[in-house]
Amino acid sequence: MFTVQLGDLDLTATDADGVKWAVENVDGWGSTGSTASQTQRPRQSGAWSGSKYAKARDVSIEGTFRAPSPDVAQAAADRLHAAASRTETPLRIAEAGSPRWAPVFQTGETVVDWLSPLEATWSVQLASDDWRKFGEQLSVSTALPSTTGGLVVVGEAEGAGTGTAYSPEQAATMASKQGYALYPRADGTAYDFAAADGTPTPATALSVIGVSDAALRVPFTIDAVTVTGQVSLSNAGNESGPVRLRIDGPCTGPVITHGSTGAQLVFSTSLVLRAGEWLEVDMENRTVLANGQAGRAGWITSRGWSAFDPGDNSWAFTAAVYHPASRLTVTATPSWK
């Protein structure tokens, strides 16, 4: 379904005041042009074109609206003038699938031509400094790499007639030391492991213990819980998009590695974030702020900036000192030409 929304104003719907908006033409929403210009080679075939960059975006939109009364029609025209702002506002257009958006601002005149006291045609002229169209932001977080838990109780398997048998109480005590608890199944045939706080463990981490005459038989295993320290996001677009990082303390000397390119953003071990402190890293604009204010780019020892490239992307999080509360959050935006 084709939709156009400028800021909060939906230009392809009937609004709460009964104004029926319609868009008749949009120019400039495709991929932008290039700065390439060709110079003929003297006394040779062909040309030189030099470096090529995408141009900024210019968009013009034309449409109509019809209101139930003159006063409502005038208010609709006022809302259109307000939506076409001189400050950046999102323009969202859905052509066939999910909406894509661009930050736009007014350039030319916003024109309203009245056909009657209830109906008008209109046009707006907009521009964006960025050449891309964006999807909705994606975000994912991770702690530093770690492995916790893990327990193997050895002996003869159940049914062998030998080996050590543990009561459910004994097994529960051993499991709790590893951060797990035992939960009996309804049919009484086995026990499942879950986190000690009662949260069920994912099926891949379950260890099931057979029960015979109220005794637990060995061997059995409680799987370890592993945090990889890596996050993955996929850019469904055809252009590299912006990436922002947030590193929450406590954390010392963080290192962020982009999986596909190997680019590393490395901070000095003298950079120490205490609990409640954080870094904001804008990979595209290459800025680093502590707690959203003070610059910390001077603490970078390796400037391996990365983008949200088309396709699958991953980032690995390490640090000079391990702390279980350290956390990396990656926020990236899919982008299209």
Residue 171: phi and psi, rounded to 5, are -65, -40
Name the band, by pLDDT with cuts 50, 70 and 90, for residue 314: very high
pLDDT for 103-151, tens place per residue?
999 999 999 999 999 999 999 999 999 999 999 999 999 999 886 655 5
Look at residue 45 and tell me if it is in a domain: no
234 and 217 in one domain?
no
pLDDT of res. 253: 96
Q: Report the pLDDT value the prediction gives residue 56, as an integer from 0 to 100.
A: 94
Give residue 98's domain range: 3-34+56-131
Q: What's the token pair of residue 210?
A: 């057979």
What is the per-residue pLDDT for 62? 98
Same domain (yes/no): 171, 199: yes
| SS3 of residue 115 by DSSP | strand
Q: Are 156 and 87 found together in one domain? A: no
Structure tokens at 54: 């995408």
CA dihedral 179, 185, 190, 194 (to 10 degrees): -10
Nearest residue to 272 (alpha-carbon basis) of 305, 321, 224? 321
Phi, psi of 74 (to 5 degrees): -65, -40
Give the chain's mean pLDDT. 85
Q: Check residue 81 and give its pLDDT.
A: 97
Looking at residue 9, its pLDDT comes to 97
What DSSP string describes 44-61?
Answer: SSSEE-----BPPEEEEE
Distances (CA, A) of 19 to 69, 117, 234: 9, 13, 40
User: Is residue 51 a part of any domain in this protein?
Assistant: no
120: exposed, middle or buried (Cβ count in 10 Å: 0-12, 13-18, 19+): buried
pTM as predicted: 0.74
Listed residues 172, 204, 227: the one ending a domain: 227
Structure tokens at 146: 């770690």
Question: Residue 222's closest CA among 172, 166, 152, 157?
Answer: 152
Question: What CATH number corresponds to the domain at position 17?
Answer: 2.40.30
Q: How far apart are CA 23 and CA 59, in angstroms?
A: 13
Q: What is the CATH number of the domain that holds 266?
A: 2.60.120.860
Are residues 323 and 247 part of one domain?
yes
Of 196, 227, 258, the last residue of a domain is 227
